[in-house]
Structure 1
Amino acid sequence: MDLVVTSMGSVFEDIVGSSEADGFISLVGLAVGDKIQAEYLNAKGTSQLDRAEMVDALLDMRRRIGSTSYVLEDSAQRIVLGNNRCPFGDLAKKFPSLCMLTANVCGHLAAESQGYARVDLPETIAAGASECRVVIDLDPETVGHGRRYHRRARA
């Protein structure tokens, strides 16, 4: 799976550039997020994860793809995850748009659980930091940077 994702990211960045690759990888992240969300909901036998289950799902998902994520902050307004091992290895330094894949999965899971999420990656291994920081703001009134996610309407 990692080989497919990293190859896909590198091909898109080479052909259309980093910005456009981010958009495509965002769509892939949404599709992956849907599948992961469904797995966790089925395992719990519920239609929505509560806050603690959502945090557990975020950590488990990131562990499954090969990162070593841990909670740096967990408050009513935000969750901050740290990670000191990139699941994409050195390829992320060459193709930083791959960071959008895990960011979008985190945003999707958090928004579906909590109604809203904004995800920012202020530090990434891909950009040369020693670890990644994934900031997930849960309050839409909080000022900050990042990509916004909203719970989708249910039928």
Structure 2
Amino acid sequence: MTWEDVLPVDWFLDRHDRRVPTALRRDNRDYLARHSSASADQLADAELIAEEMLANAIDHSDGPIWVSLEWSGPHPVLTVRDMGATFALPEQVPDTAQHRGRGLWLISQLAPEFSVAARRVGKAVESVLPVARPIEPIDPPRHTVNPLPHLSEAAPRGAFGRESFLRALVVQLANAVEVQQGPDAAQRAIAQVAVDIGGQVELEYRQATEISGAALSAEQIADCVVRLKTAIGGSFRVVEVTDERIVLVNGQCPFGPEVQLSPSLCRMTTSVFGGIAARNTGRAAVTLEERIALGDPGCRVVIHLGDAAANATRAHHYTAAP
């Protein structure tokens, strides 16, 4: 099984730790500098855009904030999601005497594309950054969130429960690989583990349903992945199945609400789903349209099947091994 690493890299931003935005902005600039031929002015513009987007989310929203960086095309796309109300983009130069609106107007002048969209809960502010690179594998910036169980998660007898323990185990192993071998190795390790698990899940499904040899149909792929997620505590259900795609929704993450502190765990879902689908249709792509890990009230996952996967954007792409 092979895959292309084009899913956004995600961070949870702790609004109460003022050091985090500065560190994230610096990491973002270094990341852009490593993987582009941008000039110093272009990098400075990209850093200023990131700074203003983060400041806007911190100053004009309440609750958690998530930052995503996606670079599957020539230009990177930075997205900041928060729980605040949406707003209209400024159409003219704001009054210099006003406190609000100047940062957004500045972004609109520096960014090739800039938009804001309401979500079912909160909003997403998105900017294309003014740097470019050849389309090739790149290493994502480091994660800054501590995934270890919070002390408040301890049971009355003093031990951590299974859910918090296993969550910490998975994420800490990924972090250890990142420290020792680099962030790209960590991302691929998570994907590889998930693909392997998905293969075993498929074998169990075939045994339980007495399906052998033939490729699973779209309906059977959907049934297989729902069976898996139900077994580990999710609540996925199918809302659409065609020869080209499967659409599933979910109202409960198996990792619990703490997944919002480690949104990269969604990589497990994309790789399990994508691996099973690609083995049976030749190729697949998985798009996460809504995610509990990013503050949405539920998850909405689209699995693109076969040739339809080629046109999927902002997705993980999987190809069956020869």
Whole-angstrom CA distance in 1 between matches of 2:260 and 2:300:
15
The structure whose residues are more often helix, as a share, is 1
Name the structure 2 match of 1:119. 286
Alpha-carbon offset, residue 149 of structure 1: 1.0
**Identity value in percent:** 30
Given that residues 25 and 97 in structure 1 are in contact (C-alpha distance below 8 angstroms), is that contact kept between their aligned partners in structure 2? no
Q: Please tell me whether residue 8 in structure 1 is matched to residue 175 in structure 2.
A: no
Aligned length: 152
For the residues of structure 1 that align with 2:226 and 2:270, how far apart are their CA atoms? 12
- CA deviation map 1:12-50 (0-9, x unaligned): 465538x55433211110110111122122332402322
Question: Is this contact kept in 2: 1:9–1:97, CA < 8 A?
Answer: no
Indicate the structure whose relative CO is greater, using CA pairs within 8 Å and at least 6 residues apart. Answer: 1
Q: How does 1:85-100 map to 2 (within 5 A)?
A: 85-100=252-267
Aligned to 2:274, which of 101, 104, 107? 107
List gaps (5 residues or longer) in structure 1. none
Question: Which one of 231, 241, 248 corresponds to residue 64 of structure 1?
Answer: 231
TM-score (norm 1): 0.85
After TM superposition, give the deviation of residue 79 of structure 1 in Å. Answer: 1.0
CA distance in 2, matches of 1:81, 1:117: 15
C-alpha root-mean-square deviation of aligned residues, in Å? 2.2
Residue of structure 2 in register with 1:24 after alignment: 189
Q: Distance in 1 between matches of 2:258 and 2:284?
A: 27
Poorly superposed stretches of 4+, deviation over 3 Å: 1-5, 12-17, 19-22
Provide structure 2 residue ranges, at least 5 long, that are not aligned to the other structure: 1-161
Question: Structure 1 residues 147 and 3, CA, compared in 2 at 3 Å: closer, same or farther?
Answer: same
Which residue number corresponds to residue 318 of structure 2? Answer: 149
Q: Which residue identity does 2:234 align to in structure 1? A: S
Query: Which of 194, 206, 210 is the aligned partner of 1:41?
Result: 206
Contact kept, 8 Å, 2:285 with 2:312, in 1: the verdict is no
- Residue identity opposite 2:224 in structure 1: A
Of the two, which has the highest radius of gyration? 2
- Find the aligned partners of 2:275 and 2:309 in 1 and give their Cα distance: 15
In 1, Cα distance between equivalents of 2:321 and 2:207: 18
Cα–Cα, structure 1 residues 27 and 4, in superposed 2: closer, same or farther, change >3 Å? farther
Change (3 A) 1:31 1:4: farther
